[in-house]
Structure 1
Amino acid sequence: MKITVVGAGNVGATLAQRLIEKNFADVALVDVIEGIPQGKTLDMRQSANMIGFTHKIVGSNSYDVTSGSDIVVITAGIARKPGMSRDELVGINAKIVREVIEKSLALSPHAMFIIVTNPVDTMTYLALKVSNLPRDRVFGLSGVLDGGRLAAFVAEELNVNASDVTPCVMGEHGGSMVVYPRFTIVNGKPLSELVDDSKQKTLAERTVNGGAEIVSIMKTSSAFYAPSASVAHMVSAVATDSGMIMNCAALLDGEYGLSDVVIGVPVELGRGGIKKIVELPLNAEELAALKVSAEAVRKTISALPK
């Protein structure tokens, strides 16, 4: 197996490191900045003796090294800067994602694409339209990361291990994401039975602002350990054909009463990508919240360059 990571910033480079250390695939790291992917992958190769991985990892400014990839992960893009409108961010990152899709697909026509670039729901929608690939082969990072954040906060609150928590966060990967306490399970019990409504709301709000909280602490950087771990988790499910269910940004076609929009929903991941979309038995209130979140994504999609 061969995996390409496009974007050698903190998320992309850390992801490349996580993947090569799993030792189930060759890895190519691509970036437009000369020397960065080459230097970072050289550094990683010099750890092989200690870590014990035997697969190859290379870095380049050229897409030639990506030829024949099974999975392409797109982390390339810019973060929203002070004074920048959301539409401006969408326009800049849309241009980047479009170019990456076109160049990667030409060399790896059978690849599946995992989108990390923000706003991820909209960029995943764009990637689907540009590539003209089926929805099982193009999906994005959303609920795996958001759920990981929720699990960390629940673990702190209830004094359990984060691995004891099966989180459920759906909808937009952004301000309108929806945390579902009834479907978040802690050691076999729903979170809704373990904490009161007020605490559920507090946990949900902290999850929504999980990335911003890190930025406010670090000042000059944003999260990359949890995002890279989340994508590596998704890639592992595909590579091992695990059939694991996790929440990813996926194109809906009637599920949850929604169509032609990408939001985070539970999917079964395995070789080939999305095996199926799982529909949870949401009640009327829960479904309404999901539809509000979907409308927020539609608004951002409308800002895509025509």
Structure 2
Amino acid sequence: MIKTVAIIGAGSIGGTVAFGLLETLFGLKELLLVDMSPDIVQAQATDLQDCAAHDTIVRSATFKEAAKCDLVLLTANVPTQKDEESSEWVSKSIKFIEGITSAMVPLNPAMTFVVATEPVDHLVNKLRKTCSLPADQIFGVGHSSLCDRRFHRWYREMSDASTHTKVNSSQSKPRVDIGCWVIGSGLRPLVIWPKTEKVDDIKSAWPGRTMFSSSAISDKKGDIWYGPSGLVLEAIKVMAGLVSATPMVLCSFVPSLNLCTSFPCLLGPKGVQSHIDLGLTTTEHEELLSSVNTMAQLE
């Protein structure tokens, strides 16, 4: 059971997720906020405490205190600079996560660590390699997760059908025979179309990767946070047993591929329970590896 949660980064996404948790996890004992800005974190904690309808304590905290929690959410990031190369930003982001994890030693071995900021692939991969947690207790919600949600919505509208078949989670390797997904690195997300007779007609209406662009939002309001926050809250509800497990595209270590990437999986109380066998074709598998290699070249 999730009794204590720490959110590292008390800005737009962190604050939105915190509010959602107070409305969702009624058994939550403590909600800790960690941020580099004392003013922001204190103001957020005070404001959020006013909306805590139950006995949840909301307060600012240190990295050491966060390390003792049942669940840690990383929503802070390294802002990109004008004319900055992607490789430079990735390098700074990796150093950023290294600084955070070094300040949190030792970690609660039962903790689940969720990354909800970009570059999610790199950050999850770095956590897997450097922190003491098992790989299935580390996962991320990023651009591919959001693209997958958008694609499902579009596909349902076009086909007037469910995007997934039922998943038998009692099997050791759950399988989905029909489904559409967006997988791979957030820099190069790949569309995996369902293997159905009607899919060719639907493909003809596909608007392309423009659907995956968030610029229409960020150009007008500066950033996106409701979409990613909603996906994080959905994952936490599953982990808390409040809703039944459904397939989600999350960034995690995929044993069959021996790499970290965004891929459909089922969550359990302690994190990633299993990955779903999509039955990728040889071409799809090669495209996935190419997508991930593009990410790796930036490190």
TM-score over 0.5 for the pair: yes
Q: How does 1:79-90 map to 2 (within 5 A)?
A: 79-90=79-90
Q: Does 2:33 match 1:35?
A: no
**Which SS does the other structure have where 2:82 is aligned?**
coil
**Which SS does the other structure have where 2:6 is aligned?**
strand
Distance 1:172 1:103 in 2: 28
Task: Compute the displacement of 1:194 (Å).
Answer: 7.6
Greater mean alpha carbon deviation, residues 286-295 or residues 235-244: 235-244
Q: Does 2:175 match 1:177?
A: no
**Deviations, residues 207-256 of structure 1 (Å, cap 9, x unaligned):** 332x23322333xx110000111111112212228443211111123x2x
**Deviations, residues 37-95 of structure 1 (Å, cap 9, x unaligned):** 111121122123xxx344222234x2354253111111111232221111221122112
Classify 1:148/1:197 alpha carbon distance in 2 versus 1 (closer, same or farther; 3 Å).
closer
Higher helix share: 1
Distance 1:28 1:191 in 2: 50
Distance 1:64 1:101 in 2: 10
Which residue number corresponds to residue 150 of structure 1? 151
Aligned 8 A contact 1:28 1:59 in 2: yes
Classify 1:197/1:108 alpha carbon distance in 2 versus 1 (closer, same or farther; 3 Å).
same
Which residue number corresponds to residue 167 of structure 2? none
**Which SS does the other structure have where 1:73 is aligned?**
strand
Classify 1:194/1:235 alpha carbon distance in 2 versus 1 (closer, same or farther; 3 Å).
farther
**Which SS does the other structure have where 1:231 is aligned?**
helix
Aligned 8 A contact 1:263 1:297 in 2: no
Which residue number corresponds to residue 288 of structure 2? 290
Letter aligned with residue 177 of structure 1: P
Classify 1:196/1:149 alpha carbon distance in 2 versus 1 (closer, same or farther; 3 Å).
closer
Which residue number corresponds to residue 267 of structure 1? 265
Which residue number corresponds to residue 14 of structure 1? 16
Distance 1:159 1:169 in 2: 17
Aligned 8 A contact 2:145 2:262 in 1: no
Task: Compute the displacement of 1:105 (Å).
Answer: 4.4
Distance 1:131 1:207 in 2: 35
Please, which runs of 5 or more residues in structure 1 have no aligned partner?
184-189
Classify 1:136/1:67 alpha carbon distance in 2 versus 1 (closer, same or farther; 3 Å).
closer
Which residue number corresponds to residue 106 of structure 2? 106
Which residue number corresponds to residue 213 of structure 1? 216
Which residue number corresponds to residue 176 of structure 2? none
Q: Does 2:50 match 1:46?
A: yes
Distance 1:56 1:194 in 2: 53
Letter aligned with residue 216 of structure 1: D
Aligned 8 A contact 2:261 2:292 in 1: yes
Distance 1:85 1:192 in 2: 42
Please, which runs of 5 or more residues in structure 2 have no aligned partner?
165-179
Aligned 8 A contact 2:64 2:104 in 1: no
Distance 2:281 2:67 in 1: 46
Aligned 8 A contact 2:159 2:202 in 1: no
Which residue number corresponds to residue 202 of structure 2? 196
Task: Compute the displacement of 1:282 (Å).
Answer: 1.4
Query: CA RMSD of the aligned region, Å?
Result: 2.5
Classify 1:269/1:292 alpha carbon distance in 2 versus 1 (closer, same or farther; 3 Å).
same
Classify 1:265/1:107 alpha carbon distance in 2 versus 1 (closer, same or farther; 3 Å).
closer
**Deviations, residues 179-232 of structure 1 (Å, cap 9, x unaligned):** 22317xxxxxx69638433322x1x413332x23322333xx110000111111
Classify 1:288/1:68 alpha carbon distance in 2 versus 1 (closer, same or farther; 3 Å).
same
Which residue number corresponds to residue 172 of structure 2? none
**Which SS does the other structure have where 1:244 is aligned?**
coil
- Give the % identical residues: 22
Classify 1:170/1:65 alpha carbon distance in 2 versus 1 (closer, same or farther; 3 Å).
same
Q: How does 1:249-264 map to 2 (within 5 A)?
A: 249-253=251-255, 255=256, 258-259=257-258, 261-264=259-262
Letter aligned with residue 260 of structure 2: V
Equivalent position to 1:279, from 277, 280, 288: 277
Which residue number corresponds to residue 186 of structure 1? none
